[in-house]
């Protein structure tokens, strides 16, 4: 089967009658049609949501009704793990929808990781989003943003990226041939697996002398000046696609709500989307309770942790005072402090979805924690030893669950889902360095700080090219 829709043709712009964009600030609440290309409210500058007139939409009365789509795998919209939930993100007509077979992911019960985190056997699940076509969860959101771009007739789409967003955008552009990708990357760390995808998929790749936060600021300017469609997670349609990660978690649990969802936090798009997903499912009466949400920062990029856990920044129904955030950003600038972590996908100091994430934390009675690069790499090694593997940023979820368990906030008997956001092969450099590098050279080779030992290293053994020596080595070590 083809990966994109053969019938997709450039058509005129379309507008939904039952979906619209709405400012997240209750004080403003301005609304805009789905035919408008916006990444912030023109009236007050806040983020936008995609909202629906649910009573005019034919939503299934129970989540199990979505299972009927499983028998329709020949239909690309039923095969897609995003679009089989179309009724829960109904902003585009089916003939405009773009898919590359995204969202066919796995919820894996991982007992070895449960033991590492100190949870009862059977209670830790890994939601493996590395199985997406471009290897990260970003495809869930990108197919939705891309679909919206297709609805409004965009010809070019742009993003700033630590790597996975650009890989995903480049893939959708290449596979659908509907648009040209323009990607902005910083000159710091970008994992080679990700860069290689963007280059091979043929994206116009602009490397800025700066970090992700700089690239993000520039891409906003450039896209508004040149009228290029922006697909970063400030794009409200992207988050609609990312809601489906939670739908699939529920699906895999036969529609039971787990106790905890644990997710790494970078730009906070995922955590924001998860909160919206649960708020909507609850409001629609499709679930009777929401899980708790834990967002995990890297210690070297811990803005949300600092603001939420130390400076009491809160959403408060949209009335929270954002002054502590402004204050904190000024402090970062004054100290010239840049984000720094081995987990390059979450190496972000100015998360664009901060306010939406605060809202999600309120909806899901959430907590925020930070984990060190040491904790991230050790957790990653444990995940990999279980056979599915992930990139460093993803392992922050497992490391964070371990911290929360040790603090008694997660109970041993809780059912916990950790999101593995990206594939193991995205960043082989970090993995190989962890397993092979001498401890003294560790931080130098990995470009990080504070990592003292590779606790779970699986070292290669060096043997002379001699049969007896080889046999002796194998018998000694196995």
Q: How far is the CB of 293 from ligand PLP (least distance, A)?
A: 12
| Residue 40 binds Zn ion, judged by CB under 5 A | no
Is the C-alpha dihedral spanning 283, 286, 292, 296 positive or negative? negative
8-state DSSP, 376: H
Q: How far is the CB of 234 from ligand PLP (least distance, A)?
A: 11
- 8 A C-beta contact, residue 25 and residue 41: yes
The binder of ligand PLP chosen from 127, 267, 341, 424 (CB under 6 A): 267
- Of 398, 158, 437, the closest CA to residue 294 belongs to 398
Say if strands 204-207 and 292-298 run parallel, antiparallel, or are unpaired: unpaired
The site partner of 79 among Zn ion, ligand PLP, none (C-beta below 5 to 8 Å per kind) is: none
> With CB under 6 A as the contact rule, which of the stretches 94-102, 221-229, 387-395, 444-452 interacts with ligand PLP?
387-395
| Residue 193 binds ligand PLP, judged by CB under 6 A | no
| Residue 394 binds ligand PLP, judged by CB under 6 A | yes
Give me 44's structure tokens: 């007050």
Q: How far is the CB of 232 from ligand PLP (least distance, A)?
A: 9
| Residue 264 binds ligand PLP, judged by CB under 6 A | yes
DSSP string computed for 131-161: GSTTSBTHHHHHHHHHHHHHHTT-SEEEEEE
- 8 A C-beta contact, residue 110 and residue 124: yes
Say if strands 229-230 and 416-420 run parallel, antiparallel, or are unpaired: unpaired
Nearer to ligand PLP, 98 or 160 (CB): 160
| Residue 43 binds Zn ion, judged by CB under 5 A | yes
Nearer to ligand PLP, 80 or 303 (CB): 303
| Residue 430 binds ligand PLP, judged by CB under 6 A | no
- Of 161, 81, 105, the closest CA to residue 419 belongs to 105
| Residue 268 binds ligand PLP, judged by CB under 6 A | yes
User: CA gyration radius for the chain?
Assistant: 22
| Residue 41 binds Zn ion, judged by CB under 5 A | yes
- 8 A C-beta contact, residue 145 and residue 119: no
The site partner of 270 among Zn ion, ligand PLP, none (C-beta below 5 to 8 Å per kind) is: ligand PLP
**Number of residues engaging ligand PLP in binding (CB under 6 A):** 18
DSSP string computed for 71-101: G-TTSHHHHSTTGGGGGGS--S-GGG---SS
The site partner of 147 among Zn ion, ligand PLP, none (C-beta below 5 to 8 Å per kind) is: none
> What 3-state class would DSSP assign to 257?
coil
Element (H, E) at 204: strand 204-207
| Residue 30 binds Zn ion, judged by CB under 5 A | yes
Nearer to Zn ion, 134 or 355 (CB): 355
The binder of ligand PLP chosen from 81, 101, 269, 400 (CB under 6 A): 269
Q: How far is the CB of 40 from Zn ion (least distance, A)?
A: 8
> With CB under 5 A as the contact rule, which of the stretches 15-23, 52-60, 70-78, 143-151 interacts with Zn ion?
15-23
Residue 365's CB is within 10 A of a number of other CB atoms, namely 10
Contact residues for Zn ion (CB under 5 A)? 23, 28, 30, 41, 43-44, 46
């Amino acid at each position: 089967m083809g990966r994109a829709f053969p019938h997709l043709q450039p058509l005129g712009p379309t507008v939904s009658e039952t979906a619209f964009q709405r400012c997240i600030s209750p004080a403003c609440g301005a609304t805009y049609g789905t035919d408008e290309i916006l990444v912030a409210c023109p009236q007050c500058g806040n983020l936008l949501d995609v909202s629906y007139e649910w009573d005019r939409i034919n939503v299934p009365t129970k989540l199990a009704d979505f299972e009927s789509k499983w028998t329709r795998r020949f239909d690309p919209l039923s095969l897609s793990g995003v679009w089989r939930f179309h009724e829960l993100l109904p902003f585009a007509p089916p003939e405009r929808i773009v898919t590359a077979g995204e969202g066919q992911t796995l919820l894996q019960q991982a007992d070895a990781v449960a033991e590492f985190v100190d949870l009862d056997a059977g209670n830790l699940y890994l939601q493996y989003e590395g199985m997406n076509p471009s290897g990260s969860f970003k495809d869930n959101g990108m197919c939705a943003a891309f679909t919206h771009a297709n609805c409004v007739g965009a010809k070019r789409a742009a993003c700033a990226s630590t790597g996975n967003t650009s890989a995903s955008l480049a893939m959708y552009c290449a596979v659908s041939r509907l648009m040209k990708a323009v990607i902005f990357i910083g000159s710091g760390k970008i994992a080679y697996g990700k860069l290689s995808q963007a280059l091979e998929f043929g994206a116009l790749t602009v490397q800025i002398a700066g970090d992700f936060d700089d690239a993000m600021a520039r891409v906003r300017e450039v896209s508004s000046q040149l009228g290029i469609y922006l697909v970063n997670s400030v794009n409200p349609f992207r988050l609609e696609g990312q809601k489906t990660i939670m739908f699939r978690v529920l699906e895999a649990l036969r529609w039971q709500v787990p106790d905890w969802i644990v997710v790494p936090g970078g730009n906070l798009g995922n955590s924001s989307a998860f909160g919206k997903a649960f708020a909507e499912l609850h409001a629609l009466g499709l679930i009777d309770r929401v899980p708790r949400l834990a967002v995990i920062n890297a210690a070297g990029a811990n803005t949300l942790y600092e603001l939420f856990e130390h400076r009491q920044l809160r959403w408060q129904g949209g009335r929270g005072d954002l002054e502590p955030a402004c204050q904190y950003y000024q402090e970062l600038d004054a100290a010239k402090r840049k984000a720094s972590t081995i987990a390059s996908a979450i190496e972000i100091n100015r998360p664009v979805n901060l306010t939406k994430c605060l809202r999600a934390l309120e909806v899901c009675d959430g907590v925020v924690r930070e984990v060190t690069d040491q904790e991230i790499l050790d957790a990653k090694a444990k995940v990999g030893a279980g056979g599915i593997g992930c990139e460093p940023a993803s392992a922050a979820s497992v490391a964070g669950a371990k911290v929360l368990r040790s603090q008694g906030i997660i109970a041993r008997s809780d059912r916990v889902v950790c999101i593995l956001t990206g594939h193991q092969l995205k960043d082989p450099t970090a993995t190989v360095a962890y397993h092979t590098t001498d401890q003294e050279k560790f931080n130098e080779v990995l470009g990080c700080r504070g990592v003292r030992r590779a606790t779970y290293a699986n070292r290669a053994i060096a043997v002379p090219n001699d049969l007896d020596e080889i046999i002796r080595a194998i018998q000694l070590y196995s």
